[in-house]
């Protein structure tokens, strides 16, 4: 049933123009996905909500947009070149490859293959390390290569700019630096749609604090980020939970970490990680670069290396959670109805306008006039390319909260039918009151 839901979601995303396979006309590219017009619209809304809540509305956080390709020194210092790898095992029965940390442990050295149920004995068949970094040749001369690395997290761009931002913004601790951008990981175990991609987008804040304040701010950010998903994005509470990392699970740089998990169609998985990275990154970069990355506290007259709390969110996983949370199939008069019950502030369009009969020029003209009036005020779409039943179904599937239909009576009574996506209730409303009616319902 759960995987049925995943299949249905992928099919809807492709069919309606949310997401396409990357390089599709050339046969596709593993774990690279392109966002179509509707997907790009939702993705942008998610990023705008995050940026507004953290950069625009707060005085303690500033924005950054750093380079995607970074030098080798950055990742020698961060530990990614040496330690950023997955331990993978192959199942001898079905031949599939898995991350050891993601499959069920039966007893010491014995794991269960999630695909075929076979027992995998890592004593006999030890896991292999796969480094996740992607590197690129930046030299024009092929015989004299020099390499840059595609960042595996936006965070490193923040750490290497810490002094630049501190000196130019003249801010004091606590200070957050926020960044939205692409990150790249040569993931070997892929699949699960956009959950695990080789190219993806992150929304990260590195929040620099005095070391003795780190625990307090860590607790604050776990709550704050949970609240973001609940109240700014509008995910359902029963699909969200927090999970603390055990000591063995912690990344090489982290002191503590809590995952915010979402109940995806394949089960509970990480949506975001909130970590206390201590002074690991600034210390390592200061050592490797030879630059002073300390902070001078004017009050106490001491130089310190701040600790950093990192709420690290995935844009694509948030998008996936939004679609998954909203996806709904119900039976209406013996027929299956698929509807995306998106929160209106995330819907690509808030209203769709159709003429009941596309062959009637008067209806088409009136519908287009209404569309032109509305589209500057709320995101709207005009459509007359199918029968009314199909038009409703299309808008249900892309999550448009309201449809406005212009019929023959509209020419006389100057009223239209406004249909509500979720209740399917239809109201007859004066044309000049349509926007007010919709705005009221959208709240
Ligand atoms: P996982 O354990 O699922 O591989 P992670 O712990 O390696 O994730 P982080 O390094 O904490 O992930 O990255 C922060 C966030 O970036 C994740 O919570 C997720 O939302 C997003 N992210 C990480 N890797 C990917 C990926 N391959 N595809 C899509 N999003 C990703």
326-385 residue pLDDT tens: 999 999 889 999 999 999 999 999 999 999 999 999 999 999 999 999 999 999 999 999
Residue position matching structure tokens 């998990």: 261
* List of E strands, 154-287: 175-184, 199-209, 240-244, 256-264, 267-278
pLDDT in tens, 117-131: 999 999 888 888 888
Pairing outcome for strands 302-304 and 307-314: unpaired
pLDDT in tens, 229-287: 999 999 999 999 999 998 888 877 788 999 999 999 999 999 999 999 999 999 999 99
Please, what's the b/e burial string for 74-100 (b: 16 or more CB within 10 A of its CB; e: otherwise)? bbebbebbeebbbebbebeeeeebbbe
288 or 84: which leads in pLDDT: 288
The answer to the question of residue 270 being in a domain is yes
What's the 191 CA to ligand 1 centre distance in angstroms?
14
Q: Contact 278/214 with Cβ under 8 angstroms?
A: yes
If asked whether residues 127 and 262 sit together in one domain, one would say: no
Ligand 1, atom 12, residue with closest C-alpha: 273
Q: Contact 111/90 with Cβ under 8 angstroms?
A: no
Please tell me what DSSP assigns to residue 361. H
pLDDT in tens, 140-180: 888 899 999 999 999 999 999 999 999 999 999 999 999 99
Query: pLDDT-derived band of residue 2, with 50, 70 and 90 as boundaries?
Result: low
Q: What's the structural domain count of the chain?
A: 3
Q: Is 350 exposed, middle or buried (0-12, 13-18, 19+ CB in 10 A)?
A: buried
Among the residue ranges 29-33, 129-133, 302-306, 364-368, the one predicted with the least confidence is 129-133
Ligand 1, residues 204, 277, 312: which to mutate, most atoms within 8 A of Cβ? Answer: 312
- CA 357 to CA 260: how far, in whole Å? 49
The answer to the question of residue 343 being in a domain is no
What's the 358 CA to ligand 1 centre distance in angstroms?
47
If asked whether residues 365 and 438 sit together in one domain, one would say: yes
Pairing outcome for strands 335-340 and 327-332: antiparallel
- CA 401 to CA 376: how far, in whole Å? 17
- CA 17 to CA 390: how far, in whole Å? 16
Average pLDDT over residues 414-441: 96
Q: Contact 203/233 with Cβ under 8 angstroms?
A: no
Predicted local confidence at residue 83, as pLDDT: 78
Q: Could you tell me the pTM of the whole model? A: 0.92
Predicted local confidence at residue 280, as pLDDT: 96
Predicted local confidence at residue 189, as pLDDT: 67
What's the 305 CA to ligand 1 centre distance in angstroms?
27
In the structure, which protein residues have their CB atom closer than 6 angstroms to any atom of ligand 1? 153, 185, 187, 196-197, 200, 202, 270-273, 312-314, 316-317
- CA 396 to CA 388: how far, in whole Å? 12
Domain range for residue 424?
349-442
If asked whether residues 220 and 299 sit together in one domain, one would say: yes
If asked whether residues 209 and 356 sit together in one domain, one would say: no
Predicted local confidence at residue 202, as pLDDT: 98
What's the 202 CA to ligand 1 centre distance in angstroms?
9
Number of neighbouring beta carbons within 10 Å of residue 47 = 17
If asked whether residues 8 and 45 sit together in one domain, one would say: yes
Ligand 1, atom 22, residue with closest C-alpha: 314
Q: DSSP letters of 183-222?
A: EE---SS--TGGGS-SEEEEEEEEEEE-GGGHHHHHHHHH
Percentage of the chain surpassing pLDDT 90?
84
If asked whether residues 13 and 144 sit together in one domain, one would say: yes
pLDDT in tens, 347-358: 999 999 999 999
Phi, psi of 54, deg, nearest 5: -105, -35
If asked whether residues 251 and 143 sit together in one domain, one would say: yes
Q: Contact 181/154 with Cβ under 8 angstroms?
A: yes
23 or 441: which leads in pLDDT: 23
Predicted local confidence at residue 125, as pLDDT: 85
What's the 124 CA to ligand 1 centre distance in angstroms?
30
If asked whether residues 360 and 296 sit together in one domain, one would say: no
What's the 270 CA to ligand 1 centre distance in angstroms?
7
Packing angle of the helix pair 361-375, 434-442 (nearest 10 deg): 50
If asked whether residues 79 and 213 sit together in one domain, one would say: yes
The answer to the question of residue 334 being in a domain is no
Q: Helices then strands (H, E): number in the chain?
A: 13, 27
Predicted local confidence at residue 404, as pLDDT: 98
The answer to the question of residue 314 being in a domain is yes
pLDDT in tens, 381-407: 999 999 999 999 999 999 999 999 999
If asked whether residues 76 and 113 sit together in one domain, one would say: no
Question: What residues does 128 pair with on adjacent strands?
Answer: 88
The answer to the question of residue 338 being in a domain is no
If asked whether residues 34 and 98 sit together in one domain, one would say: no
Ligand 1, atom 4, residue with closest C-alpha: 196
Query: pLDDT-derived band of residue 1, with 50, 70 and 90 as boundaries?
Result: very low
Q: Contact 401/347 with Cβ under 8 angstroms?
A: yes
The answer to the question of residue 337 being in a domain is no
Reply yes or no on whether the pLDDT at 92 is more than 90: no
If asked whether residues 69 and 124 sit together in one domain, one would say: no
């Amino acid at each position: 049933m759960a995987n049925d839901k995943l299949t249905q979601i992928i099919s809807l995303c492709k069919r309606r123009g949310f997401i396409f396979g990357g390089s599709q006309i050339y046969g596709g590219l593993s774990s690279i996905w392109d966002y179509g017009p509707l997907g790009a619209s939702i993705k942008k809304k998610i990023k705008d909500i995050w940026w507004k809540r953290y950069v625009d509305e707060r005085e303690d956080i500033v924005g950054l947009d750093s380079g995607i390709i970074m030098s080798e020194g950055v990742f020698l210092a961060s530990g990614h070149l040496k330690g950023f790898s997955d331990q993978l095992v192959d199942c001898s029965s079905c031949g599939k490859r898995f991350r050891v940390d993601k499959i069920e442990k039966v007893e010491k050295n014995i794991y269960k293959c999630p695909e075929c149920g076979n027992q995998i004995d890592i004593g006999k068949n030890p896991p292999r390390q796969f480094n996740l970094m992607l590197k690129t040749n930046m030299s024009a001369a092929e015989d004299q290569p020099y390499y840059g690395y595609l960042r595996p997290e936006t965070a490193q761009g923040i750490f290497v700019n810490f002094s630049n931002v501190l000196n130019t913004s003249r801010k004091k601790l606590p200070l957050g630096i926020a960044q939205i951008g692409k990150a790249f990981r040569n993931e070997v175990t892929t699949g699960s749609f956009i959950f695990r991609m080789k190219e993806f987008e992150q929304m990260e804040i590195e929040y620099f604090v005095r070391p003795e304040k780190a625990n307090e701010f860590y607790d604050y950010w776990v709550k704050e980020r949970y609240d973001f998903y609940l109240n700014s994005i509008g995910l359902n509470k029963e699909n969200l939970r927090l999970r603390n990392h055990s000591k063995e699970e912690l990344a090489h740089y982290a002191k503590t970490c809590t995952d915010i998990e979402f109940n995806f169609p394949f089960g509970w998985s990480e949506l975001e990680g909130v970590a206390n990275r201590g002074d690991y990154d600034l210390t390592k970069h200061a050592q490797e670069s030879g630059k002073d990355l300390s902070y001078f506290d004017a009050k106490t007259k001491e130089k310190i290396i701040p600790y950093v709390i990192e709420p690290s969110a995935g844009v694509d996983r948030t998008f996936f959670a939004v679609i998954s949370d909203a996806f709904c199939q119900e039976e209406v008069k013996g027929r299956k109805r698929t509807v995306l019950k998106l929160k209106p502030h995330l819907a690509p369009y808030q209203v769709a306008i159709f003429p009941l009969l596309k062959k009637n020029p008067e209806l088409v003209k009136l519908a287009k006039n209404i569309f032109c009036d509305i589209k500057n005020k709320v995101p709207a779409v005009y459509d007359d390319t199918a029968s009314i039943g199909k038009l409703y179904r299309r808008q249900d599937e892309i999550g448009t909260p309201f449809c406005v239909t212009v019929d023959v009576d509209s020419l006389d009574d100057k009223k239209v039918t406004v249909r509500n996506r979720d209740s399917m209730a239809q109201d007859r409303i004066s044309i000049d009151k349509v926007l007010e009616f919709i705005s009221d319902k959208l709240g």
